[in-house]
Structure 1
Amino acid sequence: MLEAHSPPPLLKAACSNCSVVELCLPIGLTGSEVDRLDTLIVQRYKVKKGTALYRAGDPLRSLYAVRIGSFKTSVLSVDGREQVTGFHIPGEMLGLDAISADQHACTAYALEDSEVCPIHFAQLEKLAQSLPSLQHNLNKLLSREIVRDHSMLMLMGNMNSDERLAAFLLNLSQRLSVRGYSSKEFVLKMRREEIGSYLGLRLETICRGIAHLRDQGLVEIAGRDVNIQNMEGLKHMVSGCNRQNQ
């Protein structure tokens, strides 16, 4: 849930004129179907950097389409340390983790000033019953989460630290490219510690990996500014690892 002491600013919502409509839940829907989905998104929320959109244990009320900005999801380990479970950018959906148990399994924090479209889940389920195309999109979203989990397991099990970092940067590059941003030059919204947590690596290992990628002429990272200098080389590093472990 959003922070009780700081109610989120509300904005008018409309899927039909959203800049990421082709990447989000309405993808493939007809104009009239998008209008029906529009009725479920009464207002958009602005979420300040560092604020929790919802917390682990909160009941499932809505799914959240990221419209502007970015988020990280995380859980607390048994010793109280944060374990980052994912990073989400415009056009992606937050809250799918809550569907199985009707409560959120992780906490979602805004990595920057962001904006989301809340979609009431019970109403969404009801609408999906009468719109097969919408139900199909929901199924695709859930399948994508499963594939993402499988990819993460492969990262952890089959790749060394440099390959994990290369795969992370390549994945982010591809996702940003689909949204019309540069695939070679972009800014990391997350801290290096958070990348390390997500990849199962220590901070010093991430720093060494950045230096190794630079020394190989693959990627230059200055602060949070990323410049991929050899995209094919980066792809070869990741695909080479995949072939070796097949």
Structure 2
Amino acid sequence: MSEVLALHIHHLKAACSSCSVLELCLPIGLTGTEVERLDTLIVQRLKVKKGVALYRTGDPLRSLYAVRTGSFKTSMVSVDGREQVTGFHIPGEMLGLDAISADEHVCNAFALEDSEVCPIHFAQLEKLAQNLPSLQHNLNKLLSREIVRDHSMLMLMGNMNSDERMAAFLLNLSLRFSTRGYSSRSFVLKMRREEIGSYLGLRLETICRGIAHLRDQGLVSIAGRNVTILDMEGLKQLVAGCHRAPM
């Protein structure tokens, strides 16, 4: 209950049309009138403090959540009680899609920093999408993107060694930050190394060795959580090496 109470409601009308991540979120490609109709579903924003759960496994599906500021991790708990990180989400990305199939969330979503989301009531969203083909198309694209992300993760786990996984992870963040108008070469990791290891299927010590190897090759500079990519092409070539035909 304390975590629920810690979700501070930001009593400010959320307007998609004036949002800085409009072109990355659910309204992408909608006309001005269509965006205004979507606006009516977002009556308030939610501020979520660092470390607080936006939702937990088993919670009923009420809303999808568009990340406006900050970042989140999604995770599940394994049978032996360990946390398995399933994703990291930054502004312009949608949380809560995991609950659509069974009407309840199958993972947890925790804020990695003080963050803000726009809740979109799902039942109302479905009803609106029936009248707006462009909105339904965007919902379908979001679901497809989740499938593609799962497939990419399987490839990451199956075909890449630890250094290649770390390189691919940094390149993925670089691209996502660049798309949002931030630097593709310098950014801050909001997640802990243990969380990166859980996501990549690697032990903490392996993550630390991987970072050291990338640093020794002159590909990146990582000080604490501050990342600077020194050789973007070198990182890409390292990841591309996992696609070489087996001997």
User: Which residue number in structure 1 is paired with residue 136 of structure 2?
Assistant: 135
Show structure 1 runs of 5+ residues with no match. Answer: none
User: Which residue number in structure 1 is paired with residue 167 of structure 2?
Assistant: 166
SS at match of 1:181: coil
CA distance in 2, matches of 1:235, 1:119: 37
Q: Tell whether the 8 Å contact from 2:164 to 2:239 is kept in structure 1 after alignment.
A: yes
Q: Tell whether the 8 Å contact from 2:6 to 2:48 is kept in structure 1 after alignment.
A: no
Q: Tell whether the 8 Å contact from 1:49 to 1:114 is kept in structure 2 after alignment.
A: yes
Q: Tell whether the 8 Å contact from 1:25 to 1:138 is kept in structure 2 after alignment.
A: yes
Residues 1:26 and 2:38 are matched in the alignment: no
Deviations along 1:168-220, one digit per CA (max 9) or x if unpaired, are 00000000000000000000000000000000000000000000000111011
- CA apart distance, 1:6: 2.6
Alignment of 1:33-182 (within 5 A): 33-182=34-183
Deviations along 1:13-49, one digit per CA (max 9) or x if unpaired, are 1000000000000000000000000000000000000
User: Which residue number in structure 2 is paired with residue 184 of structure 1?
Assistant: 185
CA distance in 2, matches of 1:237, 1:128: 42
Show structure 2 runs of 5+ residues with no match. Answer: none
The amino acid that maps onto 1:6 is: A
User: What is the TM-score with the length of structure 2 in the denominator?
Assistant: 0.97
Deviations along 1:78-101, one digit per CA (max 9) or x if unpaired, are 111110000000000000000000
CA distance in 2, matches of 1:177, 1:20: 13
**Superposition RMSD in Å:** 1.2
- CA apart distance, 1:2: 8.9
- CA apart distance, 1:9: 2.4
User: What is the TM-score with the length of structure 1 in the denominator?
Assistant: 0.97
User: Which residue number in structure 1 is paired with residue 240 of structure 2?
Assistant: 239
User: Which residue number in structure 2 is paired with residue 210 of structure 1?
Assistant: 211
User: Which residue number in structure 1 is paired with residue 222 of structure 2?
Assistant: 221
* Residues 211 and 240 of structure 1, relative CA distance in 2, 3 Å threshold: same
- CA apart distance, 1:8: 1.8
CA distance in 2, matches of 1:135, 1:223: 42
Q: Tell whether the 8 Å contact from 1:2 to 1:8 is kept in structure 2 after alignment.
A: no
Deviations along 1:122-151, one digit per CA (max 9) or x if unpaired, are 000000000000000000000000000000
SS at match of 1:73: strand
Q: Tell whether the 8 Å contact from 1:2 to 1:54 is kept in structure 2 after alignment.
A: no
CA distance in 2, matches of 1:244, 1:85: 29
User: Which residue number in structure 1 is paired with residue 5 of structure 2?
Assistant: 5
Q: Tell whether the 8 Å contact from 2:41 to 2:121 is kept in structure 1 after alignment.
A: yes
